[in-house]
Structure 1
Amino acid sequence: MSEEHKPRVLFLAKVYPYPPAVAGDAVYSRGVIEAMSHIARMTVLCADSASEHQQPPEIIWHVVDPPRAGRAGSVLSRWPLIAWKGATRSYHTALDQLLKDSWDIILLDNLGTAHALPKVMRYRDAHPGMRLVYVSHEYEYPMRRAKYDSYAMNWPKRLMAIRDLQKVRNSEERLLRHCDIVTVINTNDIEPFRLVAPGRKYLPIPPGYDGPIVYQRKITEETPRRVLILGGRRSEQKRQILLEWMVAAYDRLTAAGIEMVIAGDMDETLSQQLRKDYPEATVLGFVDALDALFASARMGVIADTLGGGFKLRLLTQVFQRLPIIGLRGAISGLPTDRSAGYLDAPDLPMLVNLVCDTMDDLDRLNSLHNRAFADCAAAFSWQARAEDFAAAVSENPKRVLQ
C-alpha cells in the first residue's frame, strides 16, 4: 500500500511504551503501535515514561508531561485513578491540537485513556466515517474488584476503593458502548463485553511475539533443579502475589533442594525484604536478557492469585521453551491444552506439590515445552494482527470480527 493511501491513525496511549515502561500493558501497546505503523500513518500521543525516546522513525510521537503521582487527587475526579493519572493539562492541550487535524481512525488504548473519550466522541460527530476503537487490555472491572477486595484497608481507604471501582465500571462501560470497534487480547472477554455492549464489533488482537526464540531444547539431569518466578513487582497487587507464593512455597521447595530465582523489576525495599526473609532464594530484580536464565531452569511458575487476562510473560516462556506450571485461571489465552502444553493446580499448596512432583520428571517437562511451542508457533504474529485490524476498519472483516 502506498504511503498516501494508508489511513491516518491517532493512537492515544497512557505512557511512552519503551523502557523503563516494561509492564505487560506497555509491552502490548508498543507491539500494537509498531505493527500498525506498517499499515497506517501513525501518530501517538502519550505521557513521558522517562525513556530515552528511541522511537521508530516512521511513527510521529507527541510525548507530554509524565502522569500525575499519588492518588488522593482522584477522589473528586469523575475518572478512576488509572485515568485520572493521565488526564493532565499537557495531555489535553496536545489532544486539542491534534483533533484539529484529519484522522481516519482514533484508538483509545487501555482504560487509562478513558478521560479522552468525550473529546474524541465529539470529533467523530463532526467527522462522519471516522472509526473509534477501544484497545482493551482485559476486563478491568472484575479484575480490579478482586484486587481491591484482597487488600487490607482501613475504612477511609476502603470507601475510596469502592468509589474508584464504581468509576472503573462506569468508564469501562462507556468505552465499550461508544466505540465502534473493541479489540480484545483474550477472546474470553468478548462474552462479558457483549453483555454490556451487544451492538459493538469485537476484534481479537492477541499479542504478537518478536523476542528470542529457542527452536530446540532438552532438559536433562544437568539442568539445575531451579524454578523461575518472573514479572515486575512495582504494584501493590504484584508484590502481594509474590509474597503469598513465597509464604506457601519457600520452606517446602528449599527442603526439597529446589532453587528459586526471582527476576523482575522491583523496588529496593521489596528486594531487601526477600533477601532477609528468604535467604536461600536468588533475587535478581530486573534482568534485561533472560536467555541464559531460561536455559538454566527446569520450569517457570505462574502463581498469580489476583488478576486475569493474558500474561505476556507466558509467550516469553513458550518461545524460549521454559515449561509452564501455574495456578488454574492464571494461565489464559494460550492455544495449547492444559496437561499437555502446561500444568496447573487449583490453589497455592497444590501448586507447590505440583512443582515438587514434576521437578525431576524430565520427560514430562520436555513434553510440556515441546507441545506449547508447537501449538503457539504460528499463533502470535504481529504482522497478522495488523492485517486483521486493517481488514476490520476497512469494513472487509472476513472472519476477524466477532
Structure 2
Amino acid sequence: MRCLWITRQDPRPSNSGELIYTRGLLRALSAHPGFKVTVLAHRAVGTPDEPPDPKLRWELHGWIPNGRLGGLVSMLPSDAWRLGNFTMRDSLETLSEEGHWDWVIIDQAACGWVLKHLPQPGRPRVAYIAHNHEASVRKQVASERGGSLPFRMALAWDAWKYGKLERAICERADLISAITPRDEALFKQEFPGKRTLRLPPGYNGPAVESPPPITKNSPRRVVLAGAFEWLAKRRNLELFLAAADAPFRHHNIRFVVAGKADTDYFAGLDRRYPWAEFHANVPSMDPYLANARIGLIPEALGGGFKLKALDYIFRGLPVAALEQALSGLPVNPAQDVITARQPAELAEAVAARIDDLEFLNAAASRALFACRASFQWSDRGSVLAAALEDISTSPPRP
C-alpha cells in the first residue's frame, strides 16, 4: 500500500514531542508488511540519525520559512501558510504525477495546506493524524490574558483559522486518529460516523528495570524537560515559576528546566528566578533526569499527550503533574503521581512531598509497572495499518 505522508519537517533528529511522535509512527507503519511510505517534509537542521529504510522514502525540500507576517492576511493559520509554500506545493505536484497513492496522511493540522491540492472526493483516501484537538487548544491559548491587544487579536484570528482548517481536514478525512481519550471524544462528538482511532505514543528510550531508590542524599531537585518554543509551552513554564516562587524558595527546592529553547528567553528567566536553573538546547537530558527527585508536568495550556511523562516514568522518576496533563496515561492519580488542578496547588503539593521518600519511591514503582507494557511503537503501527487496510476495502465515500 502506497502512502504519502505530509509532515512539517524531517523528524530526525527527534528533539521535541511532536517530532518523536511523528518519527515513531512513521517507522512503525513502514515496518508493517505491504506498506511503502513516502514522506514529504521540509529539511531539518542537523544530520539524520538513523540508517536508510528501504520501505521509507524521504522527500525533503527546503527549510521552513521564518516569516509569519503574510500569514495574517492568509485564510490559512500562520503555520500552515508557512508550511504550504511554493517549494512544498511544487514537490507535491511532482509526487502526484508519479502515479496512484492509496493514502495521503496529513500529520497534524498545520499540514492541512495540502487539502486544496488533492482531488475531490474519493481517492486517494485521506487520514488525519491529530497531535491535538486544535480547535479547542488554540482557542484556549488565545484566551490567555498575556501580551498586547494586537498580539491577542492575532492569536484569536489564528485560532479561528486553525479551527476552520481542522474542520475541513476532518470532513475530508476517511480516518481521524487522536492521541488522548479526551481528543478522540471531541472528534467523535463533532464528526459522528467518522472512523476514529486512538494512537497514544510508544516509547523506545532508556528504561530501568526498577526505579533507582530516592534517599535523603538524593538532590532536592525538581526537573522539567521539554521544548519551549511554542507560546503555550512558554506560558505554562511562566505560570508555574510564578506559582512556585514562594514555596520552592521557602523549602529550598532547586528547580531545573532543560530542553529546546531560545537562549535569550532562558537567560531572562534566569535573571528573574535565581532559585531555578535554565539549560537551553542540551545534548542530552540524562544528567538532569538522573539528578532529580521529581519530574514535573505543569501544562495548563496546550492539550495533547505529554511525552515527557514517559521519559520520567521509564527512568524511574516520580511524576508531579496537573490533572489535565495526565490524559492517556494509565496511572492512578491518587497513588502513582503527585497531582493538582492549578499551578499554585501543584507547587505546594511538590513542596509537601519532596521529602516523603516512602511515597516517592512507591509512586515511581507503581507508575513504571502501570506503563511498562502500554507504550510499544510496534503496536501503534499494527493498529494504524489495520485501520488503513480495513478502510481501503470499502467503497470510497461519495
Give the TM bin, normalised by the shorter chain: over 0.9
The structural deviation recorded for 1:54 is 4.1
The structural deviation recorded for 1:151 is 4.5
Counterpart position of 2:74: 77
Decide whether the 8 Å contact of 1:307 with 1:330 is kept in 2: no
TM-score normalised per structure 2: 0.92
**1:291 and 2:286 matched:** yes
Structure with the bigger RCO (C-alpha within 8 Å, sep 6+) is 2
Q: Per the alignment, in what secondary structure is the counterpart of residue 150 of structure 1?
A: coil
Counterpart selection for 1:115 from 105, 113, 137: 113
Amino acid at match of 2:60: V
The structural deviation recorded for 1:153 is 4.1
Aligned length: 386
Q: Per the alignment, in what secondary structure is the counterpart of residue 246 of structure 2?
A: helix
Structure 2 CA distance for aligned equivalents of residues 53 and 300 of structure 1: 29
The structural deviation recorded for 1:161 is 2.7
Counterpart selection for 2:385 from 382, 390, 394: 390
Q: Deviations over 1:351-390 (max 9, x none)?
A: 1210111011111111111111111111100001111112
Q: Per the alignment, in what secondary structure is the counterpart of residue 394 of structure 1?
A: helix
The structural deviation recorded for 1:156 is 3.5
Counterpart position of 1:250: 245
Q: Per the alignment, in what secondary structure is the counterpart of residue 320 of structure 2?
A: strand
Decide whether the 8 Å contact of 1:299 with 1:322 is kept in 2: yes
Decide whether the 8 Å contact of 2:233 with 2:302 is kept in 1: no
Q: Per the alignment, in what secondary structure is the counterpart of residue 126 of structure 2?
A: strand
Q: Per the alignment, in what secondary structure is the counterpart of residue 256 of structure 2?
A: strand
Which region of structure 1 is more displaced relative to structure 2, 244-253 or 315-324?
244-253
Amino acid at match of 1:349: A
**1:95 and 2:89 matched:** no
Structure 1 residues 160 and 282: alpha-carbon distance in aligned structure 2, compared to 1, 3 A threshold: closer
**1:38 and 2:31 matched:** yes
Structure 1 CA distance for aligned equivalents of residues 160 and 351 of structure 2: 42
Q: Deviations over 1:61-84 (max 9, x none)?
A: 111122222322012212111211
Structure 1 residues 249 and 159: alpha-carbon distance in aligned structure 2, compared to 1, 3 A threshold: closer
Decide whether the 8 Å contact of 1:16 with 1:51 is kept in 2: no
Structure 1 residues 138 and 121: alpha-carbon distance in aligned structure 2, compared to 1, 3 A threshold: farther
Amino acid at match of 2:200: P
Counterpart position of 2:335: 340
Structure 1 residues 121 and 186: alpha-carbon distance in aligned structure 2, compared to 1, 3 A threshold: farther
Counterpart selection for 2:189 from 191, 195, 201: 195
Structure 1 CA distance for aligned equivalents of residues 175 and 230 of structure 2: 30
Amino acid at match of 1:79: L
Structure 2 CA distance for aligned equivalents of residues 151 and 258 of structure 1: 29
Amino acid at match of 1:68: P
Amino acid at match of 1:35: A
Counterpart selection for 1:132 from 112, 126, 137: 126
Decide whether the 8 Å contact of 1:299 with 1:325 is kept in 2: yes
Counterpart position of 1:4: none
Structure 2 CA distance for aligned equivalents of residues 64 and 300 of structure 1: 37
**1:183 and 2:177 matched:** yes
The structural deviation recorded for 1:121 is 4.0
Decide whether the 8 Å contact of 1:176 with 1:196 is kept in 2: no
Structure 2 CA distance for aligned equivalents of residues 136 and 41 of structure 1: 21
Q: Deviations over 1:324-344 (max 9, x none)?
A: 112221222101110122121
Structure 1 CA distance for aligned equivalents of residues 288 and 151 of structure 2: 40
**1:266 and 2:264 matched:** no
**1:360 and 2:355 matched:** yes
Q: Deviations over 1:42-94 (max 9, x none)?
A: 11000122232345412211111222223220122121112111011010101
Decide whether the 8 Å contact of 2:200 with 2:375 is kept in 1: yes
Amino acid at match of 1:102: H
Counterpart position of 2:16: 23
Amino acid at match of 1:117: L
Q: Per the alignment, in what secondary structure is the counterpart of residue 395 of structure 1?
A: helix
Structure 1 residues 353 and 158: alpha-carbon distance in aligned structure 2, compared to 1, 3 A threshold: closer
Q: Report the RMSD for the aligned CA atoms in angstroms.
A: 1.8
Structure 1 residues 155 and 292: alpha-carbon distance in aligned structure 2, compared to 1, 3 A threshold: closer
Structure 2 CA distance for aligned equivalents of residues 8 and 316 of structure 1: 33
Amino acid at match of 1:194: K
Unaligned runs of 5+ in 2: 393-398
The structural deviation recorded for 1:213 is 0.4
TM-score normalised per structure 1: 0.91
Counterpart position of 1:227: 222
Which residues of 2 match residues 145-156 of structure 1 at below 5 A? 145-156=139-150
**1:47 and 2:45 matched:** no
Counterpart position of 2:395: none
Structure 2 CA distance for aligned equivalents of residues 207 and 352 of structure 1: 28
The structural deviation recorded for 1:396 is 8.1
Amino acid at match of 2:75: R
Counterpart position of 1:349: 344
Q: Per the alignment, in what secondary structure is the counterpart of residue 279 of structure 2?
A: strand
Structure 2 CA distance for aligned equivalents of residues 248 and 163 of structure 1: 30
The percent identity for this pair of structures is 30
Structure 1 residues 56 and 35: alpha-carbon distance in aligned structure 2, compared to 1, 3 A threshold: farther
Amino acid at match of 1:382: W
**1:12 and 2:9 matched:** no
Counterpart selection for 1:142 from 136, 139, 161: 136
Counterpart position of 2:396: none
The structural deviation recorded for 1:14 is 1.0
Structure 1 residues 343 and 243: alpha-carbon distance in aligned structure 2, compared to 1, 3 A threshold: same
The structural deviation recorded for 1:289 is 2.6
Amino acid at match of 1:105: W
Structure 1 CA distance for aligned equivalents of residues 287 and 157 of structure 2: 45
The structural deviation recorded for 1:269 is 1.3
